[in-house]
Structure 1
């Protein structure tokens, strides 16, 4: 669900080149070395050199909150000196002294940012938030000072246009092409006055994105609905009610019950709560969390962000922000993305209408004289699902203990398919005690990667799930990957097992697909390694990996009752499979609506973007042709973190596009023998280990032999019948 992949662009957002620095300080080839060295040697904190731990993993035991700002400031200074050395190099520009030198620049800054960005997202506090606020504008300025440096771009352009540049092949050619494209994208061709204007815009945008993220995290925690009695939570599992009591006590409300809001609109408890008033309270707390005025309202930030982004696109010669943003995508224009999404509307709208009637009729038949509302959908859908499939979370969760799912499911699938193995490390420090760390070994027994797993929700953690790197793989630097997966599974009550919903299980496999993309990175250049790919390709490996969750050999290996160890009964598996296509009106609908809303926001002109956000959202939703009155988008505008601060602007459609790739790709796997080692080697060789070393369409054709087709996704979603 960075990259920080939400998985994973972090609150401090930089361009691809700035994010891709190596882990050892290195001045430009043939360039003066004193300036960079002087800037770096003034800093002697814990990030001054690569960690001495295995894989250069962060030494959290020796890093304090006060260490981050000095390290970031030193990293900025060192990066500036390195960039200046490249720009001022008296030697004629060539691939090594300009393009590769840029790739090497910024190692200190990358080292600290890879850790800080994760901490401020997953385990933040007032000190880290203050550093984030202070550093965001400085990092944005650094980004601009690199991309808008005329002497530096002249060297990049010289190499790009040279005979040497045109003769490059493979990764070298890709690095040159992406470097040049990034400079042009960031405004390198603008006139000096326009560059000055762009810099001011980018400073303000960076501050606004950070402010939005911080306000949303705090506002979500502050909006947790509080209930006076356990009776109001009737229908929730006992463990969840106990967790709500503990959560309220932690908030200073002993004797009451508080439900922690999650990242998205729908909350799992909406499918459980029997009390309709409680459902309404929870739903309204979720959808109004940061749009009801007061301290945490984000709508003013959204309005300014949307307007500034539209103005920035206009300055850069593009009709809208989406057109500017999609320069490096597999889907190359907003029109193509919208056309793809709109192709689902007729079938999906029919499904929503059909399902709404089914839920309304069910309620009436069971004596509930109501007019179906958004807070009712999840509850009655669960009742219908139980009636149709005799299935509920209380039956399922005992078979999905979190650590068993990870070790006997997620890891087991990777071992069987790719030949890699895992060993838990308890000797390496972590930033939170509920985390675990594993060393990963390749199929030949050699060290492949280090993997950190941070599964549980907490008040100081952003919602959602994501993957990222503490250390990026690169043959240029000799580094192997250090990767983390971060989730927000509801933590267990004290003394109780950590049990997962089926959605949690799917998310675990999803995020590990991102992790595999990073672990199998086999690139020379860090900016092209692993998951450093376009938004509408990066979610393909993760959604593809979700398929392994239901492969019988895998499912039977991890789905065991936490008390008895008994395997999940075949009939329960059958019910899960039968229910997988149920409730697509909500399942696909809320995601498609959010993706279309994102694209609607980012196709606005500067004049259009300044309108009141909630009025614009209402109009946009009404024009989608979907039942947005009953099924609101997965993220409404004021809490759509993906697009306002996590790098998915004009890119949320990528989840649906890559789901299409994933289903089509899995269709190929099933037709070629399923989960075999031969297929695993082919998957790794064709796309999972390729990073951005090739064109995305070429990688996909290397995998399947043909361009992607949408039919397998429609079949998997139950929107068309099988039998092609």
Structure 2
């Protein structure tokens, strides 16, 4: 019965459990998700009602099997919502958000389930059950989640907790939709080509096509999620740069995409929930589930990094202001000028994106760079599966194979930007690999690269190259998962650890031999000149002050929102900007020329992206990354022997055991933070 329900909740393609997206409209999605929730509830009820002595399979195995349909259905729904949404799909997600929250509450507040898991733990402790490390870790983590979700609260407090969870889930869904609306509305219209001075022909064409897609005349400078916009480095007219910058930083303030009300309510409700659960703050609640464990443990690293970033950014600001005075006499140096003058200075010593783009054609970067690095490290190869389809015609489906030809899993690639797509780049697990179920992994690789005209090349910036390597690092984490239980497989690891494998994968973008293969002129096939690679390496730290400070400011801003006591949080939308300004000043990262990478009102990671109080995770994970890269450098870099060890000892376990113990076994010690500091010092 349960197996039939698992397979019928979501139509699938072939034997990979790849959803048959072509047969799924919002109604079918809703039916599939609700059927999957009922299936999971039925399976968990059977666990809670059992009276026989617990066993690994009757508790842990049964729990995991009960959740299969729910994981697959929700992964499929939210993959499409994030990548190719519609008004109907947004409405469905709004409708489902409180239902999903209530469903989670029905699990984690179920005293019968809690007692059954606790009884299993006690049986293992007494020696009545012989459990291995994965099973013991599962029990420890699930019991911790029961406690974190309030199973020991009394009935009135549990009811309030249910209300909070439902409202928070609805607000997060609403914020996600408002973000796309606000970003689209903030695109900057251009009527005269004179205003586009400095842009390449490719950039002008992209802006022209963006306007045409919306039925406009002229050009349209569309925005990305971050505060800084690529246009700012190229636009020669200061007044146009100012318009783009101000459009970016004012997103979410007014109009149909205003997010202030959602932000205030989310911050306050999360703070209330944390207090209800016995934590000092939402930040403390989140940290307790990560590697850091406490805010007090993570804050010194964040403060040290911030201090370094501020020092280097202030030094750069003085240098850039002098250079700007020479390039634009009589004009004041403002935040919208930073990227422009930085590009001018980079052109003298480092390398400009305009020089690099002709050598960075998307498909070659992907196949001869990203995939080739994985082949050299891990022996895997990637092969198109034209008989399988993704959720939009923009996607392509590929089969990933081991060195001996064994099928490892599927990769769905969705490269192109479109108005229906969230900004940024990401990976998702459509299907988690599992020894228990015998499932092969299905992962997605999503980017927002401007779609080229038919027959023309898609040329990348260097940042986009790094993004492709980064996101495929997440994909590898999912593809290489070798765990028994799907809920703890691959990227189902602590938030402040999960970015580590993806950051390590960025390391290979600048491998001298690899880049000579993937960086070739799109038209002539000529390899990138060695002199450009030299300048690219030298330029890695050229604007490190700006890059580090904008990131550190966003991390500190996240912590400020989620560590403030309830009575210090804003109560209305008009107070959001003031809270932000005071928080940045208090944490000593308020440099006017370098705004946060995300301002509060469009900080998708923390209000809808699952990184609430955890944006610091990118820095915490980079401590592991820098330490692991030092190990790779000492062991020959890009080679099969080193790659195989990293795969088996770091990537394969995922979150199925204590990740700190996994890393210590790999490296022989905790990661050394000095590798990180050295990487960021100029």
TM-score band by shorter chain is over 0.9
Distance 1:599 1:151 in 2: 36
Q: Secondary structure at the match of 2:16?
A: helix
Number of equivalenced pairs: 677
CA displacement, residues 662-686 of structure 1 (integer Å, 9 cap, x when unaligned): 1111111111222121101110121
* Equivalent in the alignment of 1:12: none
User: What are the residue-to-residue correspondences of 1:684-699 with 2, within 5 Å?
Assistant: 684-699=647-662
Alpha-carbon distance, 1:226 to partner = 0.8
Question: Is the 1:467–1:483 Cα contact (8 Å) retained in structure 2?
Answer: yes
Structure 1 residues 414, 632: CA separation in 2 closer, same or farther (over 3 Å shift)? same
Distance 1:610 1:498 in 2: 44
Q: Secondary structure at the match of 1:344?
A: helix
* Equivalent in the alignment of 2:203: 240
Distance 1:447 1:347 in 2: 46
* Equivalent in the alignment of 1:386: 347
1:541 corresponds to 2:501: yes
Alpha-carbon distance, 1:464 to partner = 1.1
* Equivalent in the alignment of 1:88: 49
Distance 1:308 1:133 in 2: 18
Distance 1:347 1:148 in 2: 44
1:359 corresponds to 2:320: yes
Alpha-carbon RMSD = 1.7
TM-score by length of 1: 0.91
Question: Is the 2:477–2:501 Cα contact (8 Å) retained in structure 1?
Answer: yes
1:522 corresponds to 2:507: no
1:678 corresponds to 2:641: yes
1:279 corresponds to 2:241: yes
Structure 1 residues 153, 165: CA separation in 2 closer, same or farther (over 3 Å shift)? farther
Distance 2:69 2:11 in 1: 8
Alpha-carbon distance, 1:316 to partner = 0.5
Equivalent position to 2:387, from 427, 438, 441: 427
Q: Secondary structure at the match of 1:205?
A: helix
Alpha-carbon distance, 1:494 to partner = 4.4
* Equivalent in the alignment of 1:259: 221
Q: Secondary structure at the match of 2:446?
A: strand
Alpha-carbon distance, 1:528 to partner = 1.4
Equivalent position to 2:289, from 323, 328, 341: 328
1:716 corresponds to 2:679: yes
* Equivalent in the alignment of 1:484: 444
Alpha-carbon distance, 1:109 to partner = 2.2
Alpha-carbon distance, 1:167 to partner = 5.0
Alpha-carbon distance, 1:47 to partner = 4.9
User: What are the residue-to-residue correspondences of 1:577-616 with 2, within 5 Å?
Assistant: 577-611=537-571, 612-616=575-579
Structure 1 residues 52, 277: CA separation in 2 closer, same or farther (over 3 Å shift)? closer
1:160 corresponds to 2:121: yes
* Equivalent in the alignment of 1:641: 604
Question: Is the 1:47–1:111 Cα contact (8 Å) retained in structure 2?
Answer: no
Q: Structure 2 regions of 5+ residues with no counterpart? A: none
Question: Is the 1:310–1:609 Cα contact (8 Å) retained in structure 2?
Answer: no
User: What are the residue-to-residue correspondences of 1:305-320 with 2, within 5 Å?
Assistant: 305-320=266-281
Equivalent position to 1:134, from 95, 119, 132: 95
Q: Structure 1 regions of 5+ residues with no counterpart? A: 1-23, 27-36, 720-724
Q: Secondary structure at the match of 1:449?
A: strand
Question: Is the 1:518–1:530 Cα contact (8 Å) retained in structure 2?
Answer: yes
* Equivalent in the alignment of 2:412: 452
565-574 or 423-432, larger mean C-alpha shift: 423-432
* Equivalent in the alignment of 1:72: 33
Q: Secondary structure at the match of 1:588?
A: helix
Alpha-carbon distance, 1:50 to partner = 6.1
After TM superposition, which residue ranges in structure 1, 4 or more long, deviate above 3 angstroms? Answer: 92-95, 164-167
Distance 2:657 2:629 in 1: 21
Distance 2:531 2:378 in 1: 30
Alpha-carbon distance, 1:166 to partner = 7.8
Structure with more helix by fraction: 2
* Equivalent in the alignment of 1:371: 332
Question: Is the 1:99–1:179 Cα contact (8 Å) retained in structure 2?
Answer: no
Q: Secondary structure at the match of 1:440?
A: strand
Alpha-carbon distance, 1:627 to partner = 4.7
CA displacement, residues 296-326 of structure 1 (integer Å, 9 cap, x when unaligned): 1101110010000000000001110111112
Alpha-carbon distance, 1:80 to partner = 2.1
* Equivalent in the alignment of 1:215: 178
Question: Is the 1:165–1:173 Cα contact (8 Å) retained in structure 2?
Answer: no
User: What are the residue-to-residue correspondences of 1:20-35 with 2, within 5 Å?
Assistant: 25-26=2-3
Alpha-carbon distance, 1:717 to partner = 2.3
TM-score by length of 2: 0.96
Q: Secondary structure at the match of 1:487?
A: strand
* Equivalent in the alignment of 1:116: 77
Question: Is the 1:216–1:298 Cα contact (8 Å) retained in structure 2?
Answer: yes
CA displacement, residues 265-304 of structure 1 (integer Å, 9 cap, x when unaligned): 100110000011111111111111111x222110111001
Distance 1:370 1:400 in 2: 35
420-429 or 398-407, larger mean C-alpha shift: 420-429
CA displacement, residues 496-549 of structure 1 (integer Å, 9 cap, x when unaligned): 211110000000000011011011111110011111100111000000000011
Alpha-carbon distance, 1:49 to partner = 5.7
Q: Secondary structure at the match of 1:372?
A: coil
CA displacement, residues 147-178 of structure 1 (integer Å, 9 cap, x when unaligned): 00112212122222332588532111111111
Structure 1 residues 685, 650: CA separation in 2 closer, same or farther (over 3 Å shift)? same
